[in-house]
Structure 1
Amino acid sequence: MDHLSAGRATVAVGVGDPKDRGVAAFGEQTDLKTRAAMLDEGLDLLVGLLGGDRVTHQGAHYRADGVTLRPAPVQAPRVPVWVGGSTQAKAVLRRAARADGIVPYKLTDTDEWADLTPDEVHDLVAALPATRADGEPFDVAVGGRRRRPDERAERAYLAELAAAGATWWLEFIKAGDPESMRAAVARGPLR
Structure 2
Amino acid sequence: MQYGFVIPIGDIHTIAELAQLGEEAGWDGMFYWDGIYIESMPEMYDPWVVMAAMAMRTQRVRLGAIITPLSRRRPWKVAREATTLDHLSHGRLILPVGLGALDDGGFGKVGEATDRKERAELLDESLDIITGLWSERSFTYKGKHYQVDGLTYRPTPVQQPRIPIWVVGAWKREKSMARALRYDGLLPNNMNGPMTPEEMRVMRDYIAERRTSPFDIIWEGETPGNDMERASSIVRPWAEAGATWWLESRWSTQNIDEVRARIQQGPPRIS
Scaled by the length of structure 1, the TM-score of the pair is 0.80
The residue that corresponds to 1:2 in the other structure is 86
Within 1, Cα distance between the matches of 2:204 and 2:234? Answer: 17
The residue that corresponds to 1:48 in the other structure is 132
SS at match of 1:21: coil
Within 1, Cα distance between the matches of 2:163 and 2:144? Answer: 25
- Segments of structure 2 that go 5 or more residues without pairing to the other structure are 1-84
1:82-127 CA-partner distances (Å, limit 9, x unpaired)? 1114325443311111111101133588xxxx4x322222111211
Within 2, Cα distance between the matches of 1:141 and 1:3? Answer: 24
Alignment of 1:36-115 (within 5 A): 36-106=120-190, 114=194
Q: Which moved more, 1:118-127 or 1:181-190?
A: 181-190
1:156-176 CA-partner distances (Å, limit 9, x unpaired)? 232222222211111113464
- Segments of structure 1 that go 5 or more residues without pairing to the other structure are none
Higher relative contact order (CA 8 A, sep 6+): 2
- Among 161, 169, 172, the residue aligned to 2:238: 161
Q: Please tell me whether the aligned partners of residues 186 and 217 of structure 2 are also in contact (alpha carbons under 8 angstroms).
A: yes
SS at match of 2:106: helix
Q: Which runs of 4+ in 1 moved over 4 A?
A: 129-132
Q: 1:131 to 1:167 in 2, by over 3 A?
A: farther
Q: Please tell me whether the aligned partners of residues 169 and 180 of structure 2 are also in contact (alpha carbons under 8 angstroms).
A: no
- Among 261, 267, 270, the residue aligned to 1:183: 261
The residue that corresponds to 2:65 in the other structure is none
SS at match of 2:145: coil
Within 1, Cα distance between the matches of 2:137 and 2:201? Answer: 34
How far has the Cα of 1:59 moved from its partner?
0.7
Q: 1:185 to 1:5 in 2, by over 3 A?
A: farther
Q: 1:94 to 1:164 in 2, by over 3 A?
A: same
Q: 1:179 to 1:92 in 2, by over 3 A?
A: same
Structure with greater helix percent: 2
**Matching of residue 124 in structure 1 with residue 203 in structure 2:** yes
Q: 1:88 to 1:128 in 2, by over 3 A?
A: closer
Which residue identity lines up with residue 126 of structure 1 in the other structure?
D
**Matching of residue 138 in structure 1 with residue 222 in structure 2:** no
Which residue identity lines up with residue 152 of structure 1 in the other structure?
E
How far has the Cα of 1:154 moved from its partner?
2.9
Structure 1 vs Structure 2 CA RMSD: 2.6
Which residue identity lines up with residue 263 of structure 2 in the other structure?
V
Q: Please tell me whether the aligned partners of residues 223 and 268 of structure 2 are also in contact (alpha carbons under 8 angstroms).
A: no
Which residue identity lines up with residue 117 of structure 1 in the other structure?
T
Q: Report how many aligned residue pairs link the two structures.
A: 183
Which residue identity lines up with residue 84 of structure 1 in the other structure?
V
Within 2, Cα distance between the matches of 1:54 and 1:169? Answer: 38
Within 2, Cα distance between the matches of 1:102 and 1:78? Answer: 16
Within 2, Cα distance between the matches of 1:68 and 1:127? Answer: 37
Within 1, Cα distance between the matches of 2:260 and 2:153? Answer: 33
Within 1, Cα distance between the matches of 2:178 and 2:210? Answer: 14
